[in-house]
């Protein structure tokens, strides 16, 4: 915090504005109480939208003063002078405190929860305590009714079989839904920090099923949820023994010299790295590559940049990496899950604290939030390599700087058709950061299609056409200005899902159609077990 300051003129201005607005609120509430017997409900914040806040003059005034205090504190954080990252960290810390301090989060200050307690004769409080105890036992805050879902029963239900497995992953092949399939199969590499079934939630919103329906022979990597036996696994092992191995197995099973590939989030970074390693070896097995909400260039990583600096990475390396006692420890899935939840604390934390514990309401079933709570561990050495070489040093875009599996990485060797997708409101992979992948892939120049979808990191991706929701933006073919905003200014917004655009693009990369296989795998790859397999069911 050294070198930070809040200029006196700015502080004086904020103080004057605060006193002015606080006085106006006090006078306004007095007038409303005298005129109508109750003040108006605070506007513009759903936390205080219930009628109970309006009917209690003290609660309404408390909510209004909280909003004024919150706004003033954030303005103070914005006007602090200092280096960019420290200022962003201060703003993030203040935002966390402000969100936690909301009167709606506390039973003694929440008239809505108090009313429910009275009307239920205390039953809502008793039920809230039961839900709290259940969450303590399971080790995480419930965001949905988890009892409703079961992997393989009503999520991850697309029919298929495991046709290969090793200690890192299972390879799932899906049953064709068309009489003919394209000769080039499709391999999905999902993120290893989550489970693959985000791509296969329910039949009506399954990206996997949609791809199968388009006539593709689809294979998916299902990552093993690491336990202590994997605590010392490295980034190189994830590339060589998982991503590259999966590519080779799909080639072997299908008999295709080239396959189509897709990576999602960290899975996209893993996929691109694996293909760069293979290219360095003179092997180019990919006919195309699709990257969904993926960083290759980590110049601007948005809010996640707040957590990464040399000191933090060194601490992680000493506690989790090869330098740690035992040569490696697990990064627990609950830590990752909590970190991502507190990037949006009102939506993913305090909303459920109020609903679950203060009101005693079991959250409604929601498949996406069930998946979000199904956390995964990471091997410390693998995580530390990734943290240093991407978020901290941004080495992947520097030709020859990073060495993976004994090969210097040069993303410029990737010269096949590439489809890049970003989500406009993504707080994990900001869309302009994903747009930078265009410059990170100079070898694919002229073969890139960039697509921008509405909504966030997950909801933007999982947007089936049948629901006709949201929209997407399409730019002129091959026209990619250096700045993302310049591209957006000229792009055209189209209603509905981006999936059909991708499907049409993928069809052009998939080759001719051949009869669909009648069985899973081949002579050397027999079905091991039905999809979704054992690995995805392992808990952190």
Active site residues: 265
The pair phi, psi for residue 45, each rounded to 5°, is -145, 115
Q: Could you give the CA distance from residue 346 to residue 349 in angstroms, rounded to a whole number?
A: 6
Q: Could you give the CA distance from residue 405 to residue 236 in angstroms, rounded to a whole number?
A: 5
Q: Could you give the CA distance from residue 277 to residue 158 in angstroms, rounded to a whole number?
A: 32
Q: Characterise 539 by phi-psi region: left (phi > 0), alpha (psi -120 to 50), beta (else).
A: beta
Contact yes or no for 254/246 (Cβ under 8 A):
no
Q: Could you give the CA distance from residue 486 to residue 520 in angstroms, rounded to a whole number?
A: 47
Q: Could you give the CA distance from residue 359 to residue 113 in angstroms, rounded to a whole number?
A: 5
* C-alpha closest to that of 481 among 448, 439, 449, 453: 439
In 475-512, which ranges are E strands? 492-495
Q: Could you give the CA distance from residue 515 to residue 52 in angstroms, rounded to a whole number?
A: 64
* C-alpha closest to that of 475 among 457, 488, 485: 488
Q: Could you give the CA distance from residue 422 to residue 424 in angstroms, rounded to a whole number?
A: 7
Q: Could you give the CA distance from residue 525 to residue 253 in angstroms, rounded to a whole number?
A: 7
Token pair of 115 as six digits: 């009313």
* C-alpha closest to that of 163 among 149, 175, 154, 155: 175
């Amino acid at each position: 915090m050294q070198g930070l300051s809040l200029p006196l003129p700015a502080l004086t201005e904020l103080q004057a504005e605060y006193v002015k607005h606080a006085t106006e609120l006090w006078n306004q509430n007095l007038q409303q109480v005298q005129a109508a017997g109750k003040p108006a409900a605070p506007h513009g914040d759903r936390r205080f939208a219930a009628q109970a806040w309006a009917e209690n003059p003290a609660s309404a005034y408390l909510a209004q003063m909280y909003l004024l205090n919150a706004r003033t504190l954030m303005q103070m954080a914005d006007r602090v002078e200092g280096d960019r990252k420290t200022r962003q960290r201060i703003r993030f810390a203040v935002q966390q405190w402000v969100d936690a301090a909301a009167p709606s989060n506390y039973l003694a200050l929440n008239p809505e929860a108090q009313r429910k307690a009275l009307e239920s004769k205390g039953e809502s409080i008793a039920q809230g305590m039961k839900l709290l105890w259940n969450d303590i036992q399971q080790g995480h805050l419930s965001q949905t009714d988890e009892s409703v879902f079961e992997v393989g029963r009503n999520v991850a239900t697309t029919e298929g079989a495991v046709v290969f497995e090793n200690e890192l992953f299972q390879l799932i092949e899906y049953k064709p839904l068309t009489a003919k399939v394209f000769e080039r199969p499709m391999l999905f590499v999902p993120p290893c920090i989550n489970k693959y079934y985000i791509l296969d939630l329910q039949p009506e919103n399954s990206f996997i099923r949609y791809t199968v329906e388009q006539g593709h022979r689809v294979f998916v990597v299902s990552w093993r949820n690491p336990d202590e036996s994997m605590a010392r696994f490295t980034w190189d092992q994830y590339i060589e023994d998982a991503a590259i191995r999966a590519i080779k197995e799909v080639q072997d099973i299908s008999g295709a010299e080239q396959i189509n590939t897709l990576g999602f989030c960290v899975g996209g970074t893993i996929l691109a790295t694996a293909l760069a390693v293979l290219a360095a070896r003179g092997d180019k097995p990919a006919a195309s590559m699709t990257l969904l909400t993926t960083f290759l260039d980590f110049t601007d990583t948005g809010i996640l940049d707040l957590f990464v600096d040399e000191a933090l990475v060194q601490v992680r390396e000493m506690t989790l990496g090869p330098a740690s006692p035992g040569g490696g420890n697990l990064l627990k899935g609950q830590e990752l899950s909590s970190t991502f939840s507190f990037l949006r604390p009102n939506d993913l934390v305090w909303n459920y604290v109020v609903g679950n514990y203060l009101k005693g309401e079991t959250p409604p079933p929601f498949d996406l939030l069930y998946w979000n709570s199904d956390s995964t561990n990471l091997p410390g050495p693998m995580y530390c390599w990734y943290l240093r070489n991407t978020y901290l040093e941004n080495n992947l875009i520097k030709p020859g700087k990073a060495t993976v599996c004994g090969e210097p990485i040069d993303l410029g060797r990737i010269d096949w058709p590439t489809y890049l997708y970003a989500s406009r409101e993504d707080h994990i992979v900001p869309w302009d950061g994903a747009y930078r992948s265009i410059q990170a892939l100079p070898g694919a120049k002229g073969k890139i299609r960039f697509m921008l979808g509405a909504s966030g990191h997950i909801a933007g991706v999982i947007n089936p056409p049948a629901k006709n929701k949201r929209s997407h933006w399409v730019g002129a073919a091959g026209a990619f200005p250096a700045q993302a905003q310049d591209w957006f200014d000229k792009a055209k917004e189209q209603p509905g899902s981006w999936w059909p655009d991708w499907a049409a693009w993928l069809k052009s990369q998939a080759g001719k159609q051949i009869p669909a296989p009648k069985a899973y795998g081949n002579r050397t790859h027999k079905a091991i077990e039905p999809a979704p397999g054992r690995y995805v069911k392992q808990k952190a």
